[in-house]
């Protein structure tokens, strides 16, 4: 009897050891839940390259910050956004020709163009040109318009092409203000102020319309 009990105890002990080893090796068991939480799907590897869309968003954020801070003039912003619009147009055309995808060569080309644009954004934001606005009514309106444009870039309400057009409009007004001041000892006449305000009213409506139309930076409908 004692011999039978001993053999049965040995059998149970061996079965328990085998079961414990199997659980330890099972990646889906509760004991290894911490390992599954750090899977590649839930935590992308550090240092992975940003996508085309992420790079585009990053560039727009940097431009928006430059407009908001005054580091980018209207002319510089218009030039940057025109180039960004060209890159975006090329990307859309490539996707349309390849069933919605980009080839490896096309991705490389877009990244090279974005690298060049990135350098230009940095250079334009760190050169001697800045957008200075006075404390007068004309200066305050210019700053307000730029703030609204910067917000539209940041939110995605304004596409690169729309921003380029708005900034070209602001550049034209700024050039007119500069010429008028130069002709009048640094001041604007009452008539000139009235004309500038009229032009800024038109620009203000243009900003509103472009921010509330169906176009967005991602190309999706609002």
Q: What is the pTM of this model?
A: 0.74
Q: Nearest to residue 52, comparing CAs of 126, 121, 117, 99?
A: 117
CA 60/CA 158 separation, integer angstroms: 10
Higher pLDDT among residues 192 and 23, named by residue: 192
Both tokens of 126, joined, read 């760190």
- Say what the pLDDT of residue 132 is: 80
Say yes or no to pLDDT of 6 above 80.
no
For the segment 67-106, what is each residue's pLDDT rounded down to a tens digit?
Answer: 999 999 999 999 999 999 999 999 999 999 999 999 999 9
State the pLDDT at residue 1: 47
- Mean pLDDT across 152-177: 96
CA distance linking residue 81 with residue 59, whole number of Å:
10
Residue 37 has pLDDT above 90, yes or no: no
Query: How many helices (H) and strands (E) would you count in the chain?
Result: 8, 0
Contacts for 158 with CB less than 8 Å, ≥ 6 apart: 149, 152, 166, 210, 211, 217
Q: Give residue for tokens 């800024």.
A: 200
Flag the least confident range among 24-28, 105-109, 130-134, 215-219. 24-28
Q: Please report how the helices 52-69 and 74-97 are oriented relative to each other, as an axis angle in degrees rounded to 10.
A: 170
By the 10 Å C-beta count (0-12 exposed, 13-18 middle, 19+ buried), 76 is classed as buried
């Amino acid at each position: 009897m004692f011999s039978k009990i001993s053999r049965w105890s040995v059998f149970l002990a061996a079965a328990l050891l085998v079961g414990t080893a199997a659980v330890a090796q099972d990646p889906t068991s509760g004991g290894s839940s911490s390992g599954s939480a750090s899977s590649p799907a839930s935590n992308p590897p550090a240092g992975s390259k940003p996508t085309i869309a992420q790079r585009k968003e990053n560039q727009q954020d940097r431009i928006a910050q430059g407009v908001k801070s005054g580091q980018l003039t209207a002319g510089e912003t218009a030039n940057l956004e025109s180039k960004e619009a060209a890159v975006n147009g090329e990307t859309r055309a490539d996707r349309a020709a390849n069933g919605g995808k980009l080839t490896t060569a096309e991705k490389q080309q877009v990244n090279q163009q974005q690298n060049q644009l990135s350098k230009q954004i940095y250079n334009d934001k760190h050169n001697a040109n800045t957008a200075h606005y006075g404390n007068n009514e004309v200066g305050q309106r210019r700053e307000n318009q730029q703030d609204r444009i910067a917000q539209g870039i940041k939110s995605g309400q304004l596409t690169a092409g729309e921003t380029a057009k708005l900034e070209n409009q602001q550049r034209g007004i700024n050039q007119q203000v500069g010429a008028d001041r130069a002709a009048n000892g640094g001041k604007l006449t009452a008539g000139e102020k009235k004309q500038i305000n009229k032009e800024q009213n038109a620009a203000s409506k243009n900003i509103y319309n472009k921010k509330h139309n169906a176009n967005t930076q991602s190309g999706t409908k609002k």
